[in-house]
Amino acid sequence: MSGSAPIHVIGGGLAGSEAAWQLAERGHPVVLHEMRPRRGTDAHQTDGLAELVCSNSFRSDDANGNAVGLLHQEMRSLGSLIMRAGDAHQVPAGGALAVDRDDFSQSVTRALAAHPNVTLAREEVDGLPPAAWERVIVATGPLTSPALAAAIGALTGTQSLAFFDAIAPIVHRDSIDLGKAWFQSRYDKAGPGGTGADYINCPLDREQYDAFIQALIDGEKASFKEWEATTPYFDGCLPIEVMAERGPETLRHGPMKPVGLTNPHDPTVKACAIVQLRQDNALGTLYNMVGFQTKLRHAEQVRIFRTIPGLENAEFARLGGLHRNTYLDSPRLLDATLRLKAEPRLRFAGQITGCEGYVESAAIGLMAGRFAAAEAEGRTLPPLPQTTALGALIAHITGGHIAAEDQGAPRSFQPMNVNFGLFPPLAQAPRNETGRRLRGPEKAVLKKRAITDRARADLAGWIDATTPSPLAAE
């Protein structure tokens, strides 16, 4: 394929490096455009490819009990350069995979620079890619340079490209106590596609509410970096602790207002405040805490939010946050193979698609590279089963998340780490050898094991179905 037109990858971070590697390994010429060191970002410190801008951890490496550990395993089985370099340069970190950041980045840089199919262009792409570039993967990350971000914003519509994420915590539906909480939409309004019972409601009495407000005010917060503090975000997404600081009644008149809802467990008692959780994915396994974006530290969020009646045992698929971040409204804009519907020669990868994290960004880069390679060869890759970690993540980004137009919010898609809530539920609850249904921690362990076993089997099937047989090649 050396005579064919090159595929252009913009951004040599976690996603772009992995995408370029997948293409090059399939025999496609690639031009990898990386603007550093000519132009820097507010977070990168070096000119190395795949630089880790903050922590040096790829998180849990447990492929049987953790969704990101499973993602590691799937990426290794698909020949990931990022995982190969991570494994080669790991440092002791218990059950996590942590790496020596400099050795890791240098090893990725060397591998790509030495690959005969890769041309490394140290330049900024400062507008939409030229029309002559037939196939492009945009992997410019959360700190995409302003000129390119402006061009993408003009193409997609400004509402579709965010510069800040305001993440409300997301809770696993099966960890919410419906003996205290209940399903109901405010005033039983059905709304588009709704039933009138679309929200989970958690009631607080006056004493619980006052204690909750005080805990928000006293809770330890994460600070903004200097360059984050200057990015405007306050319209419509104030952190809850900032609202609490404005006055004890503010939240009761905002996201925690108790009107239009009746507690079926005790209809005679009027709640002082109500926390609402809204379905977050099409599978109905995840619910987000409406209006609860926060800069509280993660451990504080868990401690404080578990004081809310019904959430005492809540398991969080992700915790809240506010960060500088450039990302698309992907469920609306991208097709199932990560192409921009409005301009399919442009494919997106990495954090700009609305995944979150080093590993997830590299994983989406891996699949973007494989989709682009197949397309250049005149083939279409069948979709990855949603039962795999890679498939679950892509399905969420390209359509699994459900929008919340009824909240008056123009968009509700927020960046997401891989987690078991993105996987379809098991057909059967796990049972022990005697056939008895399990409960508690034993059930949780076996459930994760069953989900990861199913993922491994389904990924193996997908690999078999997509690997050209040697006979067919003859």
Q: Give the 3-state secondary structure of residue 316.
A: strand
List binders of ligand FAD among 99-138 (CB under 6 A): 124-125
Pairwise CA distance, residues 457 & 360, whole Å: 21
Binding flag, residue 153, ligand FAD (CB under 6 A): no
Q: Residue 241 or 360: which CB sits closer to ligand FAD?
A: 360
Q: How far is the CB of 34 from ligand FAD (least distance, A)?
A: 5
Binding flag, residue 143, ligand FAD (CB under 6 A): yes
295-320 core/surface letters (b: 16 or more CB in 10 A; e: else): bbeeebbbebbeebbbbeebbbbbbb
**Out of 26, 36, 186, 347, the residue judged to bind ligand FAD by CB under 6 A:** 36
Binding flag, residue 145, ligand FAD (CB under 6 A): yes
Q: Residue 14 or 273: which CB sits closer to ligand FAD?
A: 14
Binding flag, residue 35, ligand FAD (CB under 6 A): yes
**Out of 144, 285, 330, 419, the residue judged to bind ligand FAD by CB under 6 A:** 144
Kindly report the CA angle at 331 between 328 and 334, in degrees rounded to 5?
A: 70
Q: How far is the CB of 358 from ligand FAD (least distance, A)?
A: 4
Numbers of helices and strands, H then E, in the chain: 14, 17
Binding flag, residue 358, ligand FAD (CB under 6 A): yes
Q: Give the 3-state secondary structure of residue 246.
A: coil
Q: Residue 108 or 181: which CB sits closer to ligand FAD?
A: 108
Residue 93 vs residues 50, 99, 100: alpha-carbon distances, Å: 20, 9, 11
Binding flag, residue 351, ligand FAD (CB under 6 A): yes
* Interface size with ligand FAD, residues (CB under 6 A): 33
Helix (H) or strand (E) holding 390: helix 389-395
Binding site listing: 11-16
Q: Residue 55 or 77: which CB sits closer to ligand FAD?
A: 55
The answer to whether residues 304 and 239 touch, using CB atoms and an 8 Å cutoff, is no
**Out of 69, 169, 350, 391, the residue judged to bind ligand FAD by CB under 6 A:** 350
Q: Give the residue from 169, 361, 165, 360 showing the smallest Cα distance to 280.
A: 169
The answer, yes or no, to whether the previous bond of 37 is cis (omega within 30 of 0) is yes
**Out of 139, 181, 243, 451, the residue judged to bind ligand FAD by CB under 6 A:** 139
Q: Which residues bind ligand FAD (CB under 6 A)?
A: 10-16, 33-36, 41, 43-44, 53-55, 124-125, 139-145, 148, 350-352, 357-358, 361
